[in-house]
Amino acid sequence: MNSIYHSSRINAAAPVEARKALHVNKFLPYSLLLLFALALGGCGQSSGQASGTAAVMDTVQVQATGSALGIPDQARLSFVIVEEGTELGVLKQAVDNTTLTFLEVLDGLQVPRENISSWQLDVSPRYNYRDGEQQFLGYRVSRSVKVQLDDIANFDVIIDQALAADIGRVEQVQFQVADPSPLYAEARADAMAQAWQKARELAEASNRTIARVHEVVEHGAAPAYAERSMALRTRDTATEVGQQQLSVSVSVKFIFQ
């Protein structure tokens, strides 16, 4: 051990060049470690910069709305039976009788009972105000009957029968497509086709091309039905159902290349 120790020492009288060489060799390992650490740090920074650059995508987002037309094959109707007078019991009985008559009409037209809903009687007093005084006029008794028609060919017949049964008015009529799924698919495809067309136009205008679709968001669809209110005044006017339009809106993000 002592021989090794003494062999590594340099006498003070040794040449200056030898002492300088020993000093450099002593700190050489630390210098190498420092250079290695700096090299690693530089690599990490370059890698991070490259990763950050790759994360930035060249995109464009467009909105489009597609539509489809369908012929309604179903109708929802809301009838209101109304009686007014001073004898509450008589009014209730009259509304009940009209309701039963109308239910028999619907049964004769083979409208399923599950497609009919009849609400409880609604009774409200009627007043008139004159010279600051309240005058009782009587009662208003009413009932709503809601009907779903799976065969709209019976629509005009039911309206005529309701008029014959002394029902006051149809409060609401709603024509709709029983199964709108095919229309939704058609409208959705139309919306996507329009979105692609818009994206191609933007890409061409900016001298780029479309790589792929990055994201699609559907914003909802408008149902295929129409509502109307009508009074039962005549039997001579036939009802035109026409076509109903369903629409779907989408927001599509495209990636350019």
Q: Is the same domain home to 65 and 83?
A: no
Residue 226 pLDDT = 53
Confidence band for 167, pLDDT divided at 50, 70 and 90: confident
Q: Whole-model pTM above 0.85? A: no
How many domains is the chain built from?
A: 3
Q: Catalogue the E-assigned strands of the chain.
A: 59-70, 74-85, 116-118, 122-130, 133-149, 169-176, 210-222, 225-231, 244-256
In a domain, 51, yes or no: no
Q: Is the same domain home to 111 and 196?
A: no
Q: Is the same domain home to 24 and 109?
A: no
33-37, 82-86, 159-163, 239-243: which has the highest mean pLDDT?
82-86
Q: Is the same domain home to 80 and 136?
A: yes
Residue 91 pLDDT = 96
In a domain, 111, yes or no: yes
Is the pLDDT reported for residue 170 higher than 50? yes
Range of the domain at 3: 1-38
Question: Once rounded to an integer, what is the mean pLDDT over residues 116-123?
Answer: 90
Q: Is the same domain home to 193 and 224?
A: yes
Q: Is the same domain home to 198 and 78?
A: no
Q: Is the same domain home to 98 and 150?
A: yes
The long-range contacts involving 236-240, CB below 8 angstroms and separated by at least 24 positions, are 238/156, 239/155, 239/156, 239/159
Q: Is the same domain home to 220 and 185?
A: yes
Q: Is the same domain home to 110 and 228?
A: no
Q: Is the same domain home to 82 and 159?
A: yes
Q: Is the same domain home to 145 and 188?
A: no
Residue 209 pLDDT = 95
Average pLDDT, the chain: 80
Q: Is the same domain home to 148 and 188?
A: no
